């Protein structure tokens, strides 16, 4: 059995730095590979004021991940013949039959955001908790005024209202409430225990406390998370953990048919119109699943932005890796961090060395080191000691593989660069065979835990090992 221990340790170390550098209260992550969850990680705080640690059991509002769940439900109903993707939505919601712009809109258009529908309505301040999320009656009133923003099929027009309509269709095609249907046909089929379609009155699960933005103040406000999303549950209501999200993702790229058959799983990731949104990393959208590019390869999944929480799940069909990252703060740090973990996993497993002895020997040099100028990580990737900059959103941006030139000496690659090209990286060890310092192109770096000894937690929250 392949051991991913050193690679996972490096990723945990990078996550710790990214959480600190991004000034997020807490971060939860999980990694799936080789048929199981390989790692679950919790960093930082559930509540920054009370200094309550975040755990791997805390649940997050995963917002637009709910669209992926709703797409699963629609495709399940298609598999049973309960509905067809080319059904006009007015077949299922005749209340909209007389509204302008609804006549040609199909279930398929709603799934792929090609129905030309407003994103959140004309008054979307429920997203700031200035008013309650709409109930069924209010939502249909909003929907009547939401069509005709763009031409059907001509443009990608992301719409929470469109996915709210899909929730109604799931209910009417199945004869069950949306929450009951998702519990029976997704949560229970996969044996999940910390996932649900929307919180209910009196819910007392371990929801991570949400935190506001630090754009205007370094002190984040606290944001409640036990808010019902009601008629928009199918667009944004789900809660879950990172571990259960990668379990759901794995069911969609493996040969597991507990949730969907092979045809439906393929349809999920079948991209429609390309996306060219300067505010998003998404390059195209399928049937409830986004496509992003990481390491020059397509990755699939979804993310979510909810008041106080952000989240991202991605899976890599080439390597079988799934990663989920959840952050209990309002701004979108999760997507970049998730892409970084996927990139590190791809690089780490792409060329696993056949000789584990070589990897073991290189691990003695691995760690985080700092000077007055910078912080660097020495990590074993592709079977080589590699220098990376953990402050980068993409941990592989500028990564430099080092060639061993002696027992404790390495050489930079000759890349016509301004930093270190052709020069040496020299490690010095103490009597306990622990790195005491490393001279990088003439500049001394020391292990971070030695540099920060006696410093306040605000200086650096992570150590080198």
One pLDDT digit (tens) per residue for the chain, 465 residues:
567 888 898 899 999 999 988 889 999 999 999 999 999 999 999 998 899 999 999 999 999 999 999 999 999 999 999 999 999 999 999 999 989 899 999 999 999 999 999 999 999 999 998 999 999 999 999 999 999 999 898 889 999 999 999 999 999 999 999 999 999 999 999 999 999 999 988 888 899 999 987 765 556 677 777 899 999 999 999 999 999 999 999 999 988 899 999 999 999 999 888 887 777 788 999 999 999 999 889 999 999 999 999 999 999 999 999 999 999 998 768 999 999 999 999 988 865 555 455 667 898 999 999 999 889 999 888 788 999 989 888 888 888 899 999 999 999 987 666 577 789 999 999 999 999 999 999 999 999 987 765 444 444 433 332
* pLDDT for residue 215: 63
CATH class, 60-346 region: alpha beta
Residues in the chain: 465
* pLDDT for residue 35: 93
Q: Which CATH architecture has domain 353-465?
A: Beta Barrel (2.40)
Query: Please, what is the angle between helix 65-79 and helix 242-253, to 10°?
Result: 40
Structural domain boundaries in the chain: 60-346, 353-465
Decide whether 60-346 matches 353-465 in CATH topology. no
| Alpha-carbon 205 to chain mean position | 22
């Amino acid at each position: 059995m392949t051991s991913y221990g050193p690679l996972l340790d490096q990723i945990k170390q990078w996550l710790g730095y990214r959480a600190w550098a991004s000034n997020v209260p807490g971060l939860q992550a999980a990694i799936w590979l080789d048929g199981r969850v390989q790692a679950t990680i919790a960093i930082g705080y559930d509540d920054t004021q009370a200094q309550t640690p975040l755990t791997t059991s805390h649940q997050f509002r995963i917002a637009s991940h709910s669209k992926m769940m709703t797409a699963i439900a629609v495709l399940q109903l298609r598999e049973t013949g309960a509905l067809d993707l080319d059904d006009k939505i007015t077949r299922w919601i005749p209340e909209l039959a007389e509204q302008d712009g609804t006549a040609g809109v199909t279930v398929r258009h709603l799934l792929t955001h090609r129905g030309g529908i407003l994103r959140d309505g004309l008054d979307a301040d429920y997203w700031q908790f200035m008013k309650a999320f709409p109930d069924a009656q209010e939502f249909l009133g909003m929907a009547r005024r939401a069509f005709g923003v763009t031409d059907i099929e001509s443009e990608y027009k992301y719409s929470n209202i469109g996915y709210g309509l899909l929730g109604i269709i799931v209910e009417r095609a199945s004869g069950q409430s949306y929450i009951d249907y998702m519990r029976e046909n997704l949560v229970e089929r996969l044996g999940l225990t910390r996932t649900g379609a929307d919180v209910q009155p009196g819910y007392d699960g371990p929801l991570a406390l949400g935190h506001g933005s630090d754009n205007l103040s370094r002190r984040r406000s606290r944001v409640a998370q036990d808010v019902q999303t009601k008629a928009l549950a199918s667009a944004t209501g789900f809660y879950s953990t990172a571990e259960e999200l990668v379990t759901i993702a794995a069911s969609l790229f493996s040969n597991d048919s507990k949730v969907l058959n092979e045809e439906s799983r393929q349809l999920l990731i079948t991209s429609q119109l390309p996306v060219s949104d300067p505010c998003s990393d998404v390059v195209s959208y399928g049937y409830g699943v986004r496509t992003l590019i990481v390491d020059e390869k397509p990755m699939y999944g979804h993310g979510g932005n909810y008041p106080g929480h952000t989240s991202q799940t991605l899976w890599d069909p080439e390597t079988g890796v799934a990663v989920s990252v959840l952050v209990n703060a309002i701004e979108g740090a999760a997507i970049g961090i998730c892409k970084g973990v996927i990139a590190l996993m791809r690089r780490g497993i792409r060329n696993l060395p056949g000789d584990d002895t070589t990897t073991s020997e290189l691990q003695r040099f691995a760690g985080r080191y700092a000077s007055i100028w910078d912080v660097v990580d020495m990590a074993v990737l592709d079977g080589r000691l590699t220098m990376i900059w953990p402050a980068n959103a993409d941990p592989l941006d500028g990564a430099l593989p080092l060639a061993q030139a002696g027992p404790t000496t390495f050489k930079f690659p000759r890349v016509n660069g301004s930093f270190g090209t052709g020069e040496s990286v020299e490690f010095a060890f103490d009597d306990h065979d622990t790195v005491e310092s490393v001279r990088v192109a003439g500049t001394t770096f020391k292990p971070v835990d030695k540099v920060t000894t006696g410093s306040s937690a605000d200086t650096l929250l992570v150590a080198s090992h």
